[in-house]
Each structure stands twice: as C-alpha cells, then as structure tokens.
Amino acid sequence: MPDSAGAAGGEAHERSCPSGRAVDGASLIGIVGADGRLGYLNRAIPLEDAFLERVSGRAPMRRFRFSEPCIEAGCAQWTGSSCGVIDKVLGGADEVLDAGAERLPRCPIRKSCRWFHQVGRDACGVCPFVVRGDDEHEDQWALVTPTAPDVDPSQ
Ligand code: SF4
C-alpha cells in the first residue's frame, strides 16, 4: 500500500514526513488551534484540488499540518542518514517538551512517521508545537509556545 496518506503499512523504509507542504499528494493530519498548539485529526485526509486552491498563498503550513512521503536524500533536510529538522527542533525544545510530554498525542501517522521512527516519543512531545514557515519560508521551522487560555480566578 502506498504511504502517501501517511498510513501504516508497506515496507519498513516507507516513512511519512510529519511536517510536509500543502501540495498534491500530501495529506492533512492536523489543524493549529487558537493557542498555537497542533490538534491532530483522527485520520490523514488526502488533499483535494479545491482545498489546495482555497489555501494557496494563505500560509497553509502555519495553519495546518500536512504529511508527505519522506523522500530521504531527495529532501534538503536529509542529513545523509536522518531528518535534520527534528534534531534541530529538539535542540532548543526543553520548555515545550515539558508542556507536551505527559502523553503522546493521538496521531494518524505514528506508525510511518519519520520523526517518531528516528527519535521516539521525544518527537511527539515537541511535535504539536512545531510550525513550518509560509510559502516564502517553507524550509524554516519554528517552535511556538502555546498561550494559556484566559482564566478568571474569581469564576
Ligand atoms: S512526531 Fe509523533 S505526533 Fe508528530 S506526526 Fe510523528 S508520530 Fe505523530
């Protein structure tokens, strides 16, 4: 079974990029919430032309999370043996890891995810806070610090 939807199955080397682009062949796997934290879908949804047209030019990678097949050496982020993005992200992630490490988020691509395969649950601790740049900065990733909801202590 092809891995284009980020689903499990296929050969062991067929991995899914968990922070792909909004392009034909990619799947939607999450939506960024108002607090900046990613909410994962129950299943990966292959992108349709109508969706791609609707989000084009509107920084879709900052508002949604997409998965593409991992193309390893065909990607500028490949170090030769692994994905450089998750290593860089984890390098500066202590604070957000604390916020996200209690339990793994439910995620539709875990069985094929490149980051999970590479570094295990640490990837999932930081993953909800990773945002990819917009169309002009699509090879840049950043961590967001989720904003706490406003709570009135008198209520
Ligand atoms: S890093 Fe973890 S939570 Fe993120 S896409 Fe991969 S398996 Fe899912």
Mean pLDDT score, 101-117: 91
Atom of ligand 1 nearest to the CA of 105: 3
Average pLDDT value for the chain: 85
* 148 assigned to some structural domain: no
* 124 assigned to some structural domain: yes
* 115 assigned to some structural domain: yes
Tokens of 46: 């292959």
Lowest mean pLDDT among 17-26, 37-46, 90-99: 90-99
* 3 assigned to some structural domain: no
* 154 assigned to some structural domain: no
Q: Measured on CA atoms in the order 112, 115, 118, 123, is the torsion positive or negative?
A: negative
The values of phi and psi at residue 45, to 5°, are -110, 115
* 5 assigned to some structural domain: no
Query: Residue 123: what pLDDT?
Result: 93
- pLDDT classification of 155: cutoffs 50, 70, 90: very low
* 45 assigned to some structural domain: yes
pLDDT at 13 over 60: yes
Mean pLDDT score, 14-35: 96
**What span, in angstroms and rounded, lies between the C-alpha atoms of 152 and 138?**
38
Q: Which residue in 40, 62, 37, 41 sits closest to 126, CA to CA? A: 37
Q: Which residue in 100, 97, 111 sits closest to 29, CA to CA? A: 111
Mean pLDDT score, 146-154: 55
pTM of the model: 0.84
- Which residue reads 């609707």 in tokens? 54
Pocket test for ligand 1, best of 37, 124, 126, 141 (most atoms within 8 A of CB): 124
* 55 assigned to some structural domain: yes
Lowest mean pLDDT among 12-26, 93-107, 112-126, 132-146: 93-107
Q: Give the residues surrounding ligand 1 with Cβ less than 6 Å away.
A: 18, 105, 107, 109-110, 113, 115-116, 123-124, 127
Query: Residue 34: what pLDDT?
Result: 92
Domain that holds residue 109: 16-143
- Give the range with max mean pLDDT: 76-85, 100-109, 144-153: 76-85
Q: How many domains does the chain divide into?
A: 1
DSSP helix/strand/coil, 16:
strand
- pLDDT classification of 101: cutoffs 50, 70, 90: low
pLDDT at 79 over 80: yes
